[in-house]
Structure 1
Amino acid sequence: MLNCCAKNRAQLNGPYTVANAKLLFDKVLNDKTIHARAVLDNYNREYMGHVYIAHLDSQPELEFMFDKSYWGKGIASETLKAFVPKAMHELQLESLTAHIKPQNIAAIKVLTKLGFYDVSQLSQCNALVTMRFTSDEVAGKSSAA
Protein backbone atom coordinates (compact mmCIF):
# COMPACT_ATOMS: atom_id res chain seq x y z
CA MET A 1 0.00 0.00 0.00
CA LEU A 2 1.44 3.33 -1.15
CA ASN A 3 0.96 5.34 2.04
CA CYS A 4 2.12 2.51 4.31
CA CYS A 5 5.52 2.03 2.65
CA ALA A 6 8.44 3.67 4.49
CA LYS A 7 10.43 4.12 1.25
CA ASN A 8 7.51 5.73 -0.60
CA ARG A 9 6.96 8.15 2.27
CA ALA A 10 10.63 8.79 3.13
CA GLN A 11 10.45 12.38 1.84
CA LEU A 12 7.17 12.98 3.65
CA ASN A 13 6.21 12.50 7.28
CA GLY A 14 6.72 8.74 7.41
CA PRO A 15 4.50 5.75 6.68
CA TYR A 16 0.93 5.37 7.87
CA THR A 17 -0.67 2.32 9.40
CA VAL A 18 -3.27 0.72 7.15
CA ALA A 19 -6.03 2.07 9.42
CA ASN A 20 -4.64 5.62 9.26
CA ALA A 21 -4.16 5.40 5.49
CA LYS A 22 -7.82 4.41 5.10
CA LEU A 23 -8.91 7.34 7.30
CA LEU A 24 -6.80 9.72 5.21
CA PHE A 25 -8.27 8.31 1.99
CA ASP A 26 -11.83 8.80 3.31
CA LYS A 27 -10.97 12.37 4.31
CA VAL A 28 -9.57 13.18 0.87
CA LEU A 29 -12.66 11.79 -0.85
CA ASN A 30 -15.00 13.95 1.23
CA ASP A 31 -12.99 17.15 1.75
CA LYS A 32 -14.18 19.98 -0.51
CA THR A 33 -10.86 21.84 -0.02
CA ILE A 34 -8.94 19.04 -1.78
CA HIS A 35 -8.91 18.33 -5.53
CA ALA A 36 -7.43 14.83 -5.89
CA ARG A 37 -6.85 12.30 -8.65
CA ALA A 38 -5.58 8.74 -8.61
CA VAL A 39 -2.99 7.84 -11.23
CA LEU A 40 -3.58 4.46 -12.88
CA ASP A 41 -1.51 2.52 -15.38
CA ASN A 42 -3.33 2.68 -18.74
CA TYR A 43 -2.31 -0.88 -19.57
CA ASN A 44 -3.31 -2.82 -16.46
CA ARG A 45 -5.26 -0.19 -14.41
CA GLU A 46 -2.81 -0.65 -11.52
CA TYR A 47 -2.74 2.17 -8.97
CA MET A 48 0.55 4.04 -9.45
CA GLY A 49 0.08 7.00 -7.14
CA HIS A 50 -1.88 10.17 -6.68
CA VAL A 51 -1.79 13.92 -7.19
CA TYR A 52 -3.80 16.52 -5.41
CA ILE A 53 -4.20 20.17 -4.61
CA ALA A 54 -4.97 20.83 -0.95
CA HIS A 55 -6.03 24.00 0.86
CA LEU A 56 -8.29 25.22 -1.94
CA ASP A 57 -9.90 27.57 0.56
CA SER A 58 -6.63 29.38 1.35
CA GLN A 59 -3.16 28.77 -0.17
CA PRO A 60 -3.54 26.00 -2.79
CA GLU A 61 -0.73 23.46 -2.43
CA LEU A 62 0.26 20.74 -4.89
CA GLU A 63 1.20 17.36 -3.50
CA PHE A 64 2.01 14.14 -5.29
CA MET A 65 3.28 10.67 -4.53
CA PHE A 66 4.03 7.64 -6.67
CA ASP A 67 4.94 4.10 -5.71
CA LYS A 68 8.70 3.49 -5.72
CA SER A 69 8.36 1.01 -8.59
CA TYR A 70 7.46 3.96 -10.86
CA TRP A 71 10.25 6.32 -9.79
CA GLY A 72 12.68 7.50 -12.46
CA LYS A 73 10.36 6.63 -15.36
CA GLY A 74 8.93 10.08 -16.09
CA ILE A 75 5.52 9.19 -14.66
CA ALA A 76 5.41 12.15 -12.26
CA SER A 77 6.45 14.58 -15.01
CA GLU A 78 3.88 13.23 -17.46
CA THR A 79 1.11 13.22 -14.87
CA LEU A 80 1.79 16.68 -13.48
CA LYS A 81 2.23 18.18 -16.95
CA ALA A 82 -1.39 17.20 -17.64
CA PHE A 83 -2.84 17.65 -14.15
CA VAL A 84 -1.52 21.08 -13.11
CA PRO A 85 -2.78 23.26 -16.01
CA LYS A 86 -6.12 21.46 -16.21
CA ALA A 87 -6.75 21.68 -12.46
CA MET A 88 -5.68 25.32 -12.31
CA HIS A 89 -8.03 26.17 -15.17
CA GLU A 90 -10.98 24.20 -13.76
CA LEU A 91 -10.45 25.56 -10.23
CA GLN A 92 -9.59 29.07 -11.46
CA LEU A 93 -6.36 29.17 -9.48
CA GLU A 94 -3.79 31.87 -10.13
CA SER A 95 -0.93 30.09 -8.40
CA LEU A 96 0.11 26.89 -6.67
CA THR A 97 2.81 26.19 -4.14
CA ALA A 98 4.60 22.96 -3.33
CA HIS A 99 6.69 22.30 -0.21
CA ILE A 100 9.47 19.75 -0.67
CA LYS A 101 12.30 18.47 1.48
CA PRO A 102 15.60 19.76 0.03
CA GLN A 103 16.95 16.21 -0.31
CA ASN A 104 14.07 15.25 -2.63
CA ILE A 105 16.01 16.34 -5.71
CA ALA A 106 13.81 14.32 -8.09
CA ALA A 107 10.63 16.18 -7.04
CA ILE A 108 12.39 19.54 -7.27
CA LYS A 109 13.56 18.70 -10.81
CA VAL A 110 10.07 17.60 -11.86
CA LEU A 111 8.52 20.83 -10.60
CA THR A 112 11.26 22.98 -12.13
CA LYS A 113 10.67 21.34 -15.53
CA LEU A 114 6.98 22.24 -15.21
CA GLY A 115 7.75 25.90 -14.58
CA PHE A 116 7.68 26.04 -10.78
CA TYR A 117 10.27 28.37 -9.30
CA ASP A 118 11.93 28.46 -5.89
CA VAL A 119 10.48 31.00 -3.46
CA SER A 120 12.00 29.46 -0.33
CA GLN A 121 13.51 32.71 0.90
CA LEU A 122 9.98 34.16 0.97
CA SER A 123 8.54 31.18 2.81
CA GLN A 124 8.04 30.48 6.49
CA CYS A 125 8.89 26.79 5.89
CA ASN A 126 12.62 27.01 6.53
CA ALA A 127 13.16 23.24 6.50
CA LEU A 128 11.50 22.86 3.09
CA VAL A 129 12.02 24.12 -0.43
CA THR A 130 8.95 26.13 -1.39
CA MET A 131 8.19 26.33 -5.09
CA ARG A 132 5.47 28.31 -6.85
CA PHE A 133 3.74 28.05 -10.22
CA THR A 134 1.55 30.74 -11.72
CA SER A 135 -0.81 30.39 -14.63
CA ASP A 136 -1.12 33.33 -17.01
CA GLU A 137 -4.21 31.80 -18.64
CA VAL A 138 -6.08 31.30 -15.39
CA ALA A 139 -5.03 34.71 -14.07
CA GLY A 140 -6.51 36.33 -17.20
CA LYS A 141 -3.17 37.58 -18.45
CA SER A 142 -1.67 36.80 -21.80
CA SER A 143 2.03 35.99 -22.00
CA ALA A 144 1.83 36.60 -25.78
CA ALA A 145 1.57 40.39 -25.39
Structure 2
Amino acid sequence: MTIATTRTLLTPYTETLEADFVILNCNAINRAQMNGAHSVSSAKKLFQTVLNDSSLYAMAVLDNKNRDYLGHVFLQHSDDGLAELGFIFDRSHWGKGIGFEALKAFLSKACWELSLMEVYATVNVGHQPSIRILEKLGFKQGAVKSDIHGPYYEYRFTSDAVVSETA
Protein backbone atom coordinates (compact mmCIF):
# COMPACT_ATOMS: atom_id res chain seq x y z
CA MET A 1 0.00 0.00 0.00
CA THR A 2 1.28 3.45 -0.91
CA ILE A 3 1.28 6.30 1.63
CA ALA A 4 0.92 9.85 0.30
CA THR A 5 2.00 13.00 2.11
CA THR A 6 2.09 16.57 0.87
CA ARG A 7 5.50 16.14 -0.78
CA THR A 8 6.21 12.41 -0.77
CA LEU A 9 4.94 9.01 -1.78
CA LEU A 10 6.02 6.03 0.30
CA THR A 11 5.75 2.92 -1.80
CA PRO A 12 6.68 -0.73 -1.37
CA TYR A 13 9.89 -1.72 -3.11
CA THR A 14 10.01 -3.35 -6.54
CA GLU A 15 13.00 -4.41 -8.65
CA THR A 16 12.73 -1.14 -10.61
CA LEU A 17 14.04 0.79 -7.59
CA GLU A 18 17.27 -1.19 -7.20
CA ALA A 19 19.56 1.29 -8.96
CA ASP A 20 18.26 4.21 -6.89
CA PHE A 21 18.65 2.21 -3.67
CA VAL A 22 22.21 1.20 -4.57
CA ILE A 23 23.22 4.76 -5.42
CA LEU A 24 21.76 6.05 -2.14
CA ASN A 25 23.58 3.45 -0.06
CA CYS A 26 26.94 3.67 -1.85
CA ASN A 27 27.22 7.39 -1.20
CA ALA A 28 29.66 8.06 1.65
CA ILE A 29 28.01 11.37 2.60
CA ASN A 30 24.51 9.84 2.77
CA ARG A 31 25.81 7.01 4.97
CA ALA A 32 28.35 8.94 7.06
CA GLN A 33 26.24 8.45 10.21
CA MET A 34 25.32 4.86 9.30
CA ASN A 35 28.68 3.11 9.67
CA GLY A 36 29.89 4.07 6.20
CA ALA A 37 29.02 3.51 2.58
CA HIS A 38 28.23 0.14 1.06
CA SER A 39 30.04 -1.28 -1.92
CA VAL A 40 27.88 -1.82 -5.01
CA SER A 41 27.88 -5.54 -4.29
CA SER A 42 26.84 -5.19 -0.64
CA ALA A 43 24.18 -2.58 -1.52
CA LYS A 44 22.70 -4.99 -4.09
CA LYS A 45 22.63 -7.75 -1.46
CA LEU A 46 20.96 -5.36 0.98
CA PHE A 47 18.36 -4.52 -1.66
CA GLN A 48 17.55 -8.21 -2.11
CA THR A 49 17.10 -8.43 1.66
CA VAL A 50 14.70 -5.47 1.50
CA LEU A 51 12.69 -7.28 -1.18
CA ASN A 52 12.67 -10.72 0.42
CA ASP A 53 13.08 -10.53 4.20
CA SER A 54 9.71 -10.84 5.93
CA SER A 55 11.13 -9.25 9.10
CA LEU A 56 11.55 -5.95 7.19
CA TYR A 57 8.75 -3.50 6.57
CA ALA A 58 10.45 -1.14 4.11
CA MET A 59 9.29 1.57 1.75
CA ALA A 60 10.90 3.77 -0.86
CA VAL A 61 10.33 7.50 -0.44
CA LEU A 62 9.59 9.24 -3.73
CA ASP A 63 8.92 12.85 -4.66
CA ASN A 64 5.15 13.29 -4.96
CA LYS A 65 5.44 15.38 -8.13
CA ASN A 66 8.23 13.92 -10.25
CA ARG A 67 8.65 10.47 -8.61
CA ASP A 68 12.38 11.00 -7.97
CA TYR A 69 13.81 8.66 -5.33
CA LEU A 70 14.41 10.59 -2.09
CA GLY A 71 15.20 7.91 0.43
CA HIS A 72 14.45 4.73 2.31
CA VAL A 73 12.51 4.03 5.53
CA PHE A 74 12.12 0.73 7.31
CA LEU A 75 11.15 -1.16 10.42
CA GLN A 76 13.12 -4.31 11.21
CA HIS A 77 11.52 -6.87 13.52
CA SER A 78 13.84 -8.73 15.83
CA ASP A 79 13.42 -12.10 17.50
CA ASP A 80 12.70 -10.43 20.83
CA GLY A 81 9.56 -8.80 19.42
CA LEU A 82 10.99 -5.30 19.12
CA ALA A 83 11.03 -3.25 15.94
CA GLU A 84 13.84 -0.89 14.96
CA LEU A 85 13.19 2.18 12.85
CA GLY A 86 15.80 3.12 10.28
CA PHE A 87 15.94 5.75 7.58
CA ILE A 88 18.26 7.29 5.04
CA PHE A 89 17.63 10.18 2.68
CA ASP A 90 19.76 11.54 -0.14
CA ARG A 91 21.84 14.50 1.02
CA SER A 92 20.25 16.79 -1.57
CA HIS A 93 17.02 16.60 0.44
CA TRP A 94 18.43 17.15 3.93
CA GLY A 95 17.19 20.10 5.97
CA LYS A 96 13.88 20.47 4.12
CA GLY A 97 11.57 18.59 6.49
CA ILE A 98 11.05 15.76 4.02
CA GLY A 99 12.47 13.13 6.38
CA PHE A 100 10.13 14.13 9.20
CA GLU A 101 7.14 14.31 6.86
CA ALA A 102 7.79 10.86 5.41
CA LEU A 103 8.67 9.23 8.74
CA LYS A 104 5.63 10.66 10.51
CA ALA A 105 3.31 9.06 7.95
CA PHE A 106 5.33 5.83 7.79
CA LEU A 107 5.59 5.33 11.55
CA SER A 108 1.90 5.93 12.12
CA LYS A 109 0.85 3.52 9.37
CA ALA A 110 3.44 0.87 10.28
CA CYS A 111 2.55 0.88 13.99
CA TRP A 112 -1.11 0.44 13.10
CA GLU A 113 -0.60 -2.22 10.40
CA LEU A 114 1.94 -4.21 12.40
CA SER A 115 0.21 -3.72 15.78
CA LEU A 116 3.37 -2.29 17.28
CA MET A 117 3.29 -0.83 20.75
CA GLU A 118 6.96 0.15 20.88
CA VAL A 119 9.66 1.00 18.37
CA TYR A 120 13.28 1.89 18.96
CA ALA A 121 15.91 3.69 16.91
CA THR A 122 19.61 4.27 17.33
CA VAL A 123 21.51 7.39 16.39
CA ASN A 124 25.15 8.35 16.69
CA VAL A 125 25.88 10.68 19.60
CA GLY A 126 26.14 14.16 18.14
CA HIS A 127 24.12 13.50 14.97
CA GLN A 128 21.74 16.36 15.62
CA PRO A 129 19.60 16.14 12.44
CA SER A 130 18.50 12.56 13.19
CA ILE A 131 18.11 13.32 16.89
CA ARG A 132 15.80 16.26 16.06
CA ILE A 133 13.70 14.09 13.72
CA LEU A 134 13.32 11.32 16.29
CA GLU A 135 12.40 13.76 19.06
CA LYS A 136 9.84 15.52 16.82
CA LEU A 137 8.32 12.09 16.10
CA GLY A 138 7.88 11.50 19.84
CA PHE A 139 10.87 9.25 20.52
CA LYS A 140 12.44 9.59 23.96
CA GLN A 141 16.18 9.28 24.51
CA GLY A 142 17.20 6.27 26.55
CA ALA A 143 20.52 4.59 27.10
CA VAL A 144 23.84 5.67 25.70
CA LYS A 145 25.57 2.61 24.26
CA SER A 146 28.71 1.95 22.28
CA ASP A 147 29.88 -0.47 19.63
CA ILE A 148 32.86 -0.74 17.28
CA HIS A 149 31.63 2.39 15.45
CA GLY A 150 31.46 4.51 18.60
CA PRO A 151 28.85 5.81 21.04
CA TYR A 152 25.18 6.03 20.12
CA TYR A 153 21.83 6.82 21.72
CA GLU A 154 18.96 4.42 21.83
CA TYR A 155 15.59 6.13 21.42
CA ARG A 156 12.18 4.62 22.24
CA PHE A 157 8.75 5.39 20.84
CA THR A 158 5.49 4.10 22.22
CA SER A 159 2.46 4.04 19.98
CA ASP A 160 0.54 6.24 22.40
CA ALA A 161 3.02 9.07 21.79
CA VAL A 162 1.39 12.01 20.07
CA VAL A 163 3.05 13.65 17.09
CA SER A 164 1.79 17.19 16.61
CA GLU A 165 0.56 18.16 13.15
CA THR A 166 2.69 21.32 13.35
CA ALA A 167 5.84 19.74 14.76
TM-score (norm. length: structure 2): 0.77
CA distance in 1, matches of 2:129, 2:152: 14
Which of the residues 2, 5, 19 maps onto 2:41?
19
Provide structure 1 residue ranges, at least 5 long, that are not aligned to the other structure.
Answer: 138-145
Task: Please identify which structure carries the higher strand content.
Answer: 2
SS of 2:157's partner is strand
Partner of 2:17: none
Matches within 5 A, 1:111-130: 111-120=134-143, 125-126=145-146, 127-130=151-154
CA distance in 1, matches of 2:152, 2:32: 14
| Overall identity of the aligned pairs, in % | 49
Deviation for aligned residue 1:19: 1.4
SS of 1:7's partner is coil
CA distance in 2, matches of 1:68, 1:62: 19
Provide structure 2 residue ranges, at least 5 long, that are not aligned to the other structure.
Answer: 1-22, 162-167
Residue-pair matches, total = 134
> Are residues 1:64 and 2:64 paired?
no
Which of the residues 71, 78, 91 maps onto 2:101?
78
Deviation for aligned residue 1:136: 2.5
SS of 1:61's partner is strand
Task: Please identify which structure carries the higher helix content.
Answer: 1
